[in-house]
Amino acid sequence: MTSLQALKARNPRSAEVKAELDYPVIDTDIHTNEFSPLLEDYIAQYGGAKIVDTFREHLNSNGLNVLAAEWYRATPQERQDKRLFRPPFWASPAQNSYDLATVSLPGLLYERLEEQGTDYAVLYPNISLFPINSSNDDLRRSLTRAINHYHADIYRPYADRLTPVAAIPLNTPEEGIEELQHAVSLGLKTALIPGSIRRPVKSIAEKYPDDAELRRYAYWLDFFGIDSAHDYDPFWQNSIDLGINLSTHSGSQSWVARNSPTNYMFNHINHFADASEGLAKALFFGGVTERFPQLRIALLEAGAAWGANVLTHLVDRFEKRGNEHIQQYNPANVDRELVLSLYRQYGQDLFRGRDYSDDEILEHIFGIILPSHYREQNPQDINDFALAKVQNKQDIFDRWVPNFYFGNEADDRTIVGALHPQATPFNQKINALFSSDSGHWDVPELTEPLAETWDLVKEGAITEADFKALVFDNPYRFYTANNPDFFKGTQVEEKLKNKQAA
């Protein structure tokens, strides 16, 4: 057994890195665990004994959602027959017992921030992901309020260096607004939303109203922007008005291409990026970022590279199919006489003696759907960039880069591509955030992430300016964008004041 005294006597690499910096370090993603007996007191306050029992069932399912828990109860053959995705297992750094206790004890985490090389950390309690993705209305609402109240209370004594996110469900925009306002009343300053909501496919739900098993698999994903079941504009506006910048930490495990019954890594790799991409594209194409330029959303644990990749693809596709460019593919613009003359001259071997009308040549051989064969389309049905009101390439930058911040873990080297000046058509870098992800299995030693990021500087993979942007500039700008007082009374404010005085 390692003595506590020996553990505290260490001088971790990250602490050494931080000692050489003249700016604060902000970690945007540390995962914490709750102390269930105390949390149950809050759950009983908001939901009563029935919800407490449901919460206990959740814990007995290894802390996983219903679909994941079912995998553990099923036989290997049942997993195959039902296509039950292989869920996470051994998710915490158990062998590193010091870290395991640290993310469960607010006082210890607060004490160890110096070892971690962090001045201020935003906390993502693992339990917060459970209620906001629940379809049970009573469970979702009562458990959300209990969890938020619990975390607001236990971290209040440490507010100068730690702040937990508020869990905000979004089954309806009205629900989201109510929970945002309640979170603010508790003193919470930033919020976690689901990346999407599973909705039943209406035609199937109506045809098979009593077949819950079928409806469980027949769903569509509402990403709140394009094709949404509700108008979420009031929610976006309310978050801006309240100064609550949003984040998402949802994944895509169990989606069609991430549904292996046997291999967790197959389901896991890039699954956060896929889910975040769906949300970000929906908000972009649905015109949300155009209508709400002040909206800020952090897309966590997904890496930053995909943000640069999608930005590049948006530009490429706009220049091919956006606005007037789409008319290149309009059947009405076919030079009929040229095509027909060419087919009459060169296509005789294809015709093989058959006599084709002009329309048949165009439709069946050239593969064109004639204008007379489809309904008149709305402009947004033809131009995918219409709702976003994109007029030029710069509009794409303006509706993507300021609105989205991309959480990048220390050991994710794809950040190198995301921060390369020529990674996008604009020769500018996207907003990447230092997100240690401490508390999860991919961080076996929570004192290492800052040093691992600094290793990229030493290797020449990123610059010192990139490092500063990751650990301070971008996080600071994100959290203060709609709330200039976000860091008031914190270690970050104190450190900046001392720097100015010096």
Residue pair 192/248 in contact by the 8 Å Cβ criterion = yes
Residue 375 has pLDDT above 70, yes or no: no
Residue pair 295/287 in contact by the 8 Å Cβ criterion = no
The pLDDT tens digits for 267-310 are 999 999 999 999 999 999 999 999 999 999 999 988 899 999 99
pLDDT band at residue 2, thresholds of 50, 70 and 90?
low
The pLDDT tens digits for 156-189 are 999 999 999 999 999 999 999 999 999 999 999 9
CA distance 127 to 466: 33
pLDDT of residue 278: 96
Average the pLDDT over 354-374 and give the result.
Answer: 69
Say what percent of the chain tops pLDDT 70.
Answer: 94
Residue 62 has pLDDT above 50, yes or no: no
pLDDT of residue 150: 97
pLDDT of residue 63: 45
Residue whose C-alpha is closest to residue 268's, from 81, 28, 29, 86? 86
For residue 76 the two structure tokens come to 């290997």
Average the pLDDT over 430-459 and give the result.
Answer: 93
Residue 379 has pLDDT above 80, yes or no: no
Say what percent of the chain tops pLDDT 90.
Answer: 62
Residue 338 has pLDDT above 50, yes or no: yes
Burial code (b: 16+ CB inside 10 Å, e: under 16) for 290-316 equals bbbeebbbbbbbbbbbbbbbbbeebbe
Residue 1 has pLDDT above 60, yes or no: no
pLDDT band at residue 59, thresholds of 50, 70 and 90?
low
pLDDT of residue 358: 84
pLDDT of residue 367: 62
Residue 361 has pLDDT above 90, yes or no: no
pLDDT of residue 276: 95
Residue 244 has pLDDT above 90, yes or no: yes
pLDDT of residue 350: 83
pLDDT of residue 373: 52
pLDDT of residue 479: 98
Q: Give, as one character, the DSSP assignment of residue 378.
A: P
pLDDT of residue 365: 65
Ranges 199-208, 256-265, 293-302, 328-337: which has the least confidence? 328-337
Structural fold of domain 4-195+222-304+388-413+432-501:
TIM Barrel (3.20.20)
Q: C-alpha angle with apex 457: 454 to 463, nearest 5 degrees?
A: 125
For residue 197 the two structure tokens come to 């909501």
Residue pair 398/293 in contact by the 8 Å Cβ criterion = yes
pLDDT of residue 433: 96
Residue whose C-alpha is closest to residue 29's, from 333, 478, 464? 478
pLDDT band at residue 205, thresholds of 50, 70 and 90?
confident
Average the pLDDT over 313-329 and give the result.
Answer: 91
pLDDT of residue 6: 67
Q: Which of 88-97, 166-175, 341-350, 412-421 has the highest mean pLDDT?
A: 166-175
Residue 64 has pLDDT above 80, yes or no: no
Q: What is the DSSP string of 262-305?
A: S-HHHHHTTHHHHHHHHHHHHHHHTTHHHH-TT--EEETTS-SH
Work out the mean pLDDT of the chain and round it to a whole number.
Answer: 90
pLDDT of residue 68: 67
Average the pLDDT over 37-47 and give the result.
Answer: 95
Q: Write down the pTM of the prediction.
A: 0.92
pLDDT band at residue 212, thresholds of 50, 70 and 90?
confident
Residue 391 has pLDDT above 50, yes or no: yes
Query: CA Rg, the chain, in Å?
Result: 26
Residue with tokens 């976690």: 192
Q: C-alpha angle with apex 123: 182 to 69, nearest 5 degrees?
A: 90
Range(s) for CATH 3.20.20.140 in the chain? 4-195+222-304+388-413+432-501
pLDDT of residue 39: 94
The residue ranges of DSSP E strands in 229-269, in sequence order, are 245-248
Coil/strand/helix, residue 501: helix
Average the pLDDT over 59-77 and give the result.
Answer: 70
Higher pLDDT: 186 or 56? It is 186
Ranges 9-13, 27-31, 128-132, 265-269: which has the least confidence? 9-13
Query: φ, ψ for residue 72 (rounded to 5)?
Result: -70, -30
Query: φ, ψ for residue 132 (rounded to 5)?
Result: -70, -15
